[in-house]
Amino acid sequence: MNMHCIRRGTGKPLLLIHGIGGSSRSWLLIMNALVEAGREVIAVDLPGHGATPALLGEVSIRTLADAVTDFLKKQDLLGIDAVGSSMGARLVLELARRGGIVGAVVSLDPGGFWRGWEIPFFYYSVATSVRLVRLLQPVMPTLLGNPIGRTALLAQFSAHPWQLPATLVGDEMRTFASSPSFDELLDQLAHGERQQGAPQGTIKQPLVIGWGRQDRVCLPRQATRALAAFPDAHLHWFNDCGHFPQWDAPTQTVRLVLAVINGELLFDGLPAQSTQRTSPRKIFFKLAIGLVLIASVIGLFRRKK
């Protein structure tokens, strides 16, 4: 499988795998710092994302993991250290579970550990967000030009979306809207095969799962389940951070990644049992505010026509 990628720097290679609807450009806020730290960074566009064609047939975590493995074999990169975000975080866990494919792994807010009401919450909230993103493509440049627009668009995904660069958000909104694999992948993530774990002692390389305490996509309570499935992993909490630590806490993310892949494992994580429980009522209230903001913006543009 040939995959488009951004490849920068020299030194020991480091693989970056984005989330559903994203692309290699999802990592731009931390890429230069990783390169300056002496790593060759390889950020891929997964099949059906960015500039990489979609897979033929089933599109799922299993088939994406097969595609990434094939890419690494062809590039002579088996054993590469890897960082994944969201769906990409689940992918790097799957690659680590299979053994012999990746080295040290950092998994940032992995999907796939939701249960009960969290499944429809994940599916319908993200499906609604992407439908709105597709609808708003004609006015997207104007929306992204002000903090209120960025907040409305990314209220579910970032703890402080108004601070994100408009170019970064624009890239993400375009790939969300244009990915031919998005809808099938979203259904597979919510309703497909559950992520298998790895028994204790089977993963020999460093493995760290990072989680944003304000994640409204993969709720913080799910970190306990991720650790139960991967007992060889360490847990690191990102305070004041949403679903994408590489956006909300780029400096801390770089520090964590370098500590893990350099074999230092020096991080200030907290044990899983300290996870803060997130009230469903608070989550839906915050998402409702975001939807109201978007509806107001849409109404404003309609009145101007």
**pLDDT 10s digits, 118-158:** 999 999 999 998 999 999 999 998 888 888 888 888 989 99
Question: In degrees, to the nearest 5, what angle opens at C-alpha 123 toward C-alphas 245 and 195?
Answer: 70
Lowest mean pLDDT among 116-125, 162-171, 214-223, 271-280: 271-280
Other C-beta atoms within 10 Å of 51: how many?
11
Q: What pLDDT is recorded for position 109?
A: 98
Residue 266: its pLDDT value, please? 53
86 part of a folded domain: yes
- pLDDT reading at 1 higher than 90: no
Determine the structural domain holding residue 91 and report its residue range. Answer: 5-114+194-262
pLDDT at 236 (0 to 100): 96
Domain membership flag for residue 256? yes
Q: What is the domain count for the chain?
A: 1
State the pLDDT confidence band at 169, using cuts at 50, 70 and 90: very high
What is the model's pLDDT at position 152? 86
* 173 domain-assigned: no
Q: According to the model, what pLDDT value does residue 274 have?
A: 36
- The Cα-based distances of 178 to 51, 77, 222 in angstroms read 11, 29, 29
Distance CA 273, CA 114 (A): 17
In-domain check, residue 76: yes
We report the CATH number of the domain holding residue 98 as: 3.40.50.1820
Q: What is the DSSP string of 125-169?
A: HHHHHHHHHHHTGGGHHHHHTSHHHHHHHHTTT-SSGGGS-HHHH
How far apart are the C-alpha atoms of 286 and 137, rounded to whole Å?
23
Structure tokens at 91: 């992918």
Among 46, 37, 36, 35, smallest CA distance to 8 is for 35
The verdict on residue 165 lying in a domain is no
Overall residue count recorded for the chain in this entry: 305
The neighbour count for residue 194, using CB atoms within 10 Å, is 11
- 160: which 2 tokens? 């402080």
Residue 230 domain-assigned (yes or no): yes
Domain membership flag for residue 88 = yes
238 is a domain residue:
yes
For residue range 180-215, list pLDDT tens digits in order.
999 999 999 999 999 999 999 999 999 999 999 999
